[in-house]
């Protein structure tokens, strides 16, 4: 029989190299997948790993998709390090978009450009409010934050649909479920003319530095991580588990809400039922591939964005289904989990099984 046996001391080098090994394995499996589908593997890899970075415009589109992934994953990293499993960042993303959209709908062409600050603040508050529901139920009734946060995603989707099909529907929109296009002053400023990348890129990089300092240079960040790794030791040291719960979930929800606000007032410019595109779920993979470290999250978010863009290009150029994006994301997560398992455990042969 084969048996998994814990290694006395897992290799730190292999632990750091695990995401790279997982990426190589994902690429190799991808080559085999393209061949099975009757497509040229070279062209297949090109649309995933070359086209998204071939020029400035492509890099701009890469940044548009990477920013929400970075922001959401930063918040999730805080939760996961505190041993709290917020699986509902997609719902918090949607509430952030709705909060930002509500403020944007109050503006007109004469509004000040500073309304963008209020829009982003509304997004953060919307995400925090939605995460607070999970925090209350976990705090007061010990409900599973996994189930609660996940179920709230579907509630958020229904609320968004109700608004864009009902009270917020554009009366001049030819009966399409969408709001009016937001006024020009509400749009997130772009970094370069003719490209969609906006100041969210700079904001995301600044928050990477803030979260790095918070997690590894502050007392509060230390308390959160101790509570996640050793709850008994945290209680003995006087760290508040309740405070960690609320801090982690509110920070995570606020970051997802900020991502939703940047998306609604940035590339989209209005609200539709198609605001949720799975960033909240993809960011879970981003957080783990980035080893729950803010700097690692940046690199894994860029990789995940390449999968998004590659999936779209594979659909238009190679005639493959767009769901190939999810296939590559799933492959990356599965190979990473396999690598991590073999780093922490070794396989032993224990002899034939007894009847």
CA angle 312, 314, 318 (to 5 degrees): 140
The top-scoring range by mean pLDDT among 72-76, 189-193, 223-227, 310-314 is 72-76
Mean pLDDT, the chain, as a whole number? Answer: 93
* SS3 category, 184: helix
Tokens of 174: 């030819």
Phi then psi for 188, rounded to 5 degrees?
Answer: -65, 130
Evaluate if residue 348 carries a pLDDT over 90: no
Count of alpha carbons within 13 angstroms of residue 184, beta-carbon side: 2
Span 145-183, pLDDT tens digits = 999 999 999 999 999 999 999 999 999 999 999 999 999
- Residue 168 near residue 179 (C-beta atoms within 8 A): yes
Listed in sequence order, the residues at least 6 apart from 159 whose beta carbon sits closer than 8 Å to its beta carbon are: 94, 95, 98
Tokens of 250: 């509110």
Q: How many angstroms separate the CA atoms of 172 and 63, rounded?
A: 32
CATH 1.10.3470 given to domain 7-346? yes
Region 119-139 average pLDDT: 97
Region 264-293 average pLDDT: 95
Residue 262 pLDDT: 98
pLDDT band at 354 (very low <50, low <70, confident <90, very high): low
pLDDT band at 10 (very low <50, low <70, confident <90, very high): confident
Structural domain spans, the chain: 7-346
Region 202-215 average pLDDT: 97
Nearest CA-CA partner of 91 in 77, 104, 115, 75: 75
Tokens of 121: 């603040």
What is the sign, positive or negative, of the torsion defined by CA atoms of 78, 80, 82, 87? positive
Percentage of residues in the chain having pLDDT higher than 70 = 99
Tokens 């400023």 correspond to 189
Span 285-334, pLDDT tens digits = 999 999 999 999 999 999 999 999 999 999 888 898 888 888 999 999 99
Please, where are the H alpha helices in the chain? 12-36, 41-49, 56-81, 89-105, 115-141, 145-165, 200-217, 219-229, 231-236, 241-263, 279-289, 294-317, 324-344
Region 16-33 average pLDDT: 93
207-232 core/surface letters (b: 16 or more CB in 10 A; e: else): bbeebbebbeeeeebebbbbbbeeee
Angle at which helices 56-81 and 89-105 pack, to 10 degrees?
120
Nearest CA-CA partner of 256 in 62, 19, 78: 78
Residue 223 pLDDT: 87
Residue 95 pLDDT: 98
Nearest CA-CA partner of 295 in 199, 228, 207: 207
- Residue 343 near residue 15 (C-beta atoms within 8 A): yes
Q: How many angstroms separate the CA atoms of 162 and 271, rounded?
A: 12
Residue 123 pLDDT: 98
Nearest CA-CA partner of 247 in 88, 21, 82: 82
More confident residue, 207 or 236: 207
Nearest CA-CA partner of 79 in 295, 244, 291: 244
């Amino acid at each position: 029989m084969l048996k998994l046996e814990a290694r006395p001391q897992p290799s730190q080098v292999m632990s750091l190299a695990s995401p790279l090994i997982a990426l190589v394995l994902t690429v190799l499996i991808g080559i085999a997948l393209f061949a099975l589908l009757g497509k040229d593997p070279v062209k297949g890899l090109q649309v995933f790993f070359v086209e998204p970075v071939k020029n400035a415009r492509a890099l701009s589109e890469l940044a548009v998709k990477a920013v929400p992934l970075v922001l959401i994953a930063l918040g999730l990293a805080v939760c996961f390090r505190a041993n709290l499993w917020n699986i509902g960042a997609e719902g918090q993303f949607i509430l952030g978009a709705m909060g930002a959209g509500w403020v944007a709908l109050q503006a007109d062409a004469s509004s000040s450009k500073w309304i963008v600050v209020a829009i982003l603040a509304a997004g953060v508050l919307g995400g925090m409010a939605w995460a607070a529901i999970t925090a209350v139920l976990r705090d007061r009734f010990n409900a599973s934050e996994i189930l609660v946060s996940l179920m709230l995603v579907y509630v958020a989707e229904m609320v968004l649909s109700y608004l864009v099909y009902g009270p917020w529907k554009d009366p001049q929109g030819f009966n399409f479920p969408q709001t009016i296009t937001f006024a020009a002053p509400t749009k997130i400023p772009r970094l370069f003319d003719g490209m969609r990348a906006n100041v969210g890129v700079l904001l995301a990089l600044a928050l990477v530095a803030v979260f790095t300092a918070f997690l590894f240079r502050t007392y509060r960040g230390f308390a959160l991580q101790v509570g996640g790794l050793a709850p008994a030791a945290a209680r003995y040291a006087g760290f508040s588990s309740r405070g960690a719960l609320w801090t982690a979930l509110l920070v995570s929800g606020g970051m997802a809400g900020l991502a939703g606000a940047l998306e609604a007032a940035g590339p989209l410019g209005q609200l539709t039922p198609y605001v949720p595109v799975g960033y909240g779920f993809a960011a879970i993979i981003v957080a783990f591939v980035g080893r729950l470290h803010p700097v690692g999250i940046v690199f894994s978010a860029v990789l995940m964005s390449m999968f998004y863009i590659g999936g779209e290009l594979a659909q238009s150029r190679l005639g493959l289904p767009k769901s190939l994006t999810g296939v590559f994301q799933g492959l990356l997560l599965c190979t990473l989990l396999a690598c991590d398992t073999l780093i922490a455990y070794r396989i032993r042969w224990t002899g034939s099984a007894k009847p």
